[in-house]
A and B are shown apart, each in its own frame.
Chain A
Amino acid sequence: MTVRELVAALDLEVLTGDINLDRQAGSGYTSDLLSDVIANIGDDAVWITIQRHVNILGVAKLKDVSAIIIPRNLALEEAFLAKAREEGIAVLRGSKSAFELSALIYNALTRGRGVA
């Protein structure tokens, strides 16, 4: 499914405007340790993390992630979002916890449709 479809299915907030939303999201990874993400995130993955500093954008770019997803409506700095837009990385935000978002996204991606 595309990032746009994932946004609609999970009622996520798009913080970077119309950037990269037609990208395919094929898998996901949930981690706040950057070395873990670098070594283990898959292709076309959405990355669920509570890290919100600009340096994570280097990881996102290197691993060519489909989108970064921030849980629990955590606050983001405008400088982070501006850099994300500049790098063409979609940043999404959900109200649920990383655990709940991971489960919902897993279901959405494996069933190829939205979840209730």
Chain B
Amino acid sequence: MVDSLTYTPKITVEFEIGEKDFFIAGECASRVKKTLQQLGLKQEIIKRIAIIIYEAAMNVAIHATSGKLVVHIDPDGITILTQDVGAGIEDIDLAMKEGYSTATYEIREMGFGAGMGLSNIKQCSDDLYIESKVGVGTNLEARVFFNNRKKTGEDV
């Protein structure tokens, strides 16, 4: 196991996510996880990245009409981006709160929409940036460094 990659693979993976396409979230995360395992990254980092990808993709599937998830891997870390067309987020601070959810009853009954997605993403990311416009869509960018410990407070 290595802390950082000794060579420079620049890998970009992209997934299209359709409305209510819940299975794809698991698929995105599982596929990237496999790639990262092949690169020999630490399990702890892979776990964090898998959680971010799953939750970010799931948010698109639940709240958007269409969207995509893009993963960039570079020697220093990984960037996870989602861009969607959909409901958007009215109050990002509120949405970050664990337990706050706007998911419908049907979605929650399936075990999704527990209001833990964004807080899970924040906990697992070194950097997180979200921009959103109600009725238009949301862009999310999460970064995980291979070497640094998770940053806290003002660094984020």
Residues of chain A whose beta carbon lies under 8 Å from any beta carbon of chain B: 32-36, 38-39, 49, 51, 53-59, 61-62
5 contacts between A and B (CB under 8 A): A33-B114, A35-B120, A38-B120, A51-B111, A62-B29
Which of B19-27, B65-73, B126-134, B138-146 lies on the face that meets chain A? Answer: B19-27
Report the contact-size class of chain B (Cβ under 8 Å from the partner). Answer: 20 to 34
Alpha-carbon distance between A20 and B16 when the two chains are bound, in angstroms: 31
Q: 10 other contacts beyond A35-B112, A35-B120, with CB at 8 A cut-off?
A: A33-B114, A34-B110, A34-B112, A49-B111, A55-B22, A56-B111, A58-B27, A61-B30, A62-B50, A62-B54
Which residues does chain B contribute within 8 Å of A51, judged by CB atoms?
Answer: 110-111
Question: A33-B111, A34-B114, A55-B110 are known contacts. Are A39 and B27 too (CB-CB below 8 A)?
Answer: no
A33 engages B116 (CB within 8 Å) = yes
* Chain B nearest CB, measured from A27 CB (Å): 15
Contacts between chains A and B (CB distance < 8 A), count: 58
Which residues does chain A contribute within 8 Å of B23, judged by CB atoms?
Answer: 54-55, 57-58
B55 engages A35 (CB within 8 Å) = yes
B30 engages A58 (CB within 8 Å) = yes
Binding site secondary structure of chain A: helix
Q: Which 7 pairs show the lowest CB-CB distances between chains A and B?
A: A58-B26, A35-B116, A55-B22, A33-B114, A34-B111, A51-B111, A35-B114
* Chain A nearest CB, measured from B135 CB (Å): 25
* Chain A nearest CB, measured from B37 CB (Å): 11
B114 engages A36 (CB within 8 Å) = yes
Binding site secondary structure of chain B: helix
Q: Which of A36, A49, A61 contacts B116 (CB 8 A)?
A: A36
Residues of chain B whose beta carbon lies under 8 Å from any beta carbon of chain A: 22-23, 25-27, 29-30, 33, 50-51, 54-55, 58, 110-112, 114, 116-117, 120, 123
Alpha-carbon distance between A3 and B117 when the two chains are bound, in angstroms: 30
Alpha-carbon distance between A54 and B23 when the two chains are bound, in angstroms: 8
Q: Which of B29, B33, B111, B116 contacts A39 (CB 8 A)?
A: B116
Question: A32-B111, A33-B114, A53-B110 are known contacts. Are A39 and B26 too (CB-CB below 8 A)?
Answer: no
* Chain A nearest CB, measured from B108 CB (Å): 9
Which residues does chain B contribute within 8 Å of A33, judged by CB atoms?
Answer: 111, 114, 116
Which residues does chain B contribute within 8 Å of A55, judged by CB atoms?
Answer: 22-23, 26, 110, 112
